[in-house]
Chains A and B, each alone.
Chain A
Amino acid sequence: EVQLVESGGGLVQPGRSLKLSCAASGFTFSNYYMAWVRQAPKKGLEWVATISTSGSRTYYPDSVKGRFTISRDNAKSSLYLQMNSLKSEDTATYYCARHGRLLDFWGPGTMVTVSS
């Protein structure tokens, strides 16, 4: 059974950093692109980042480019999102997702609140 479990969310002040993790199991992690998607409270879904199987290629929307970094450790079946220079508009639930048939499996999410 495919499982994705995010961790690392919490309350952080504007301008500070936070690193999210996603533990994957139930599939061969190294064979799949992986992604992060976020959802602000009561809002829609926004794609945040995608990483290739080896980690050599990464993709971001303009809203987070230069501030967020996606990475992975295939030996640990883990995905990460380093978030720097956080803004109030980054407040959201962050989901880890497998990039199989588009985004075919999602974790339950971890909440990030950016506030002073």
Chain B
Amino acid sequence: DIQMTQSPASLSASLEEIVTITCQASQDIGNWLAWYQQKPGKSPQLLIYGATSLADGVPSRFSGSRSGTQYSLKISRLQVEDPGIYYCLQGYSAPYTFGAGTKLELK
């Protein structure tokens, strides 16, 4: 099975700050990587698919990148509505696996 190691587990950042979350895949998954945001009591919302493509309606301050088997989600200027839990997902091969999540809070 492909393991997705997500870091950090939690972080606290100030408004307008740049935030980066990473997921390390245990093997090559190409661009079969998505990022999700989940707010309390809600279902996850797709932010990024194909490692770098922005989902419809998602603000441009969110971006995804890839370097080998390391994938990153960047929030360029943290806004008040951005706190939540962020997950990566590999869809390269079953069993599809999520990262453990990153809890993002406002400082």
Q: Which residues of A pack against B, CB within 8 Å?
A: 44-47, 50, 59-62, 95, 101-109
CB of A6, distance to nearest CB on chain B (Å): 10
Q: Contact: A106 with B44, CB < 8 Å? A: yes
Interface residue SS majority, chain B? loop
Question: B50 — which chain A residues lie within 8 A by C-beta?
Answer: 101
CB of A26, distance to nearest CB on chain B (Å): 13
Q: Give the docked Cα–Cα distance between A44 and B98 (Å).
A: 8
Question: B36 — which chain A residues lie within 8 A by C-beta?
Answer: 45, 103
Q: Which of A44, A50, A102, A104 sits near B101, CB closer than 8 Å?
A: A44
- Which chain B residue lies CB-closest to A95? B43
- Which chain A residue lies CB-closest to B92? A102
Q: Give the docked Cα–Cα distance between A62 and B1 (Å).
A: 10
Which residues 74-107 of B sit at the A interface, judged by CB distance below 8 A? 87, 89, 91, 94-101
Q: Give the docked Cα–Cα distance between A106 and B44 (Å).
A: 7
* Interface size, chain B (Cβ < 8 Å): 24
Q: Contact: A47 with B98, CB < 8 Å? A: yes
Known pairs A102-B32, A102-B49, A103-B34; A108 contacts B97 (CB<8 A): no
Q: Give the docked Cα–Cα distance between A8 and B71 (Å).
A: 37
Q: Give the docked Cα–Cα distance between A63 and B89 (Å).
A: 18
Q: Which of B49, B87, B97 sits near A104, CB closer than 8 Å?
A: B49
Question: A95 — which chain B residues lie within 8 A by C-beta?
Answer: 43-44
Q: Give the docked Cα–Cα distance between A62 and B95 (Å).
A: 8
Q: Give the docked Cα–Cα distance between A102 and B53 (Å).
A: 12
Q: Give the docked Cα–Cα distance between A103 and B97 (Å).
A: 12
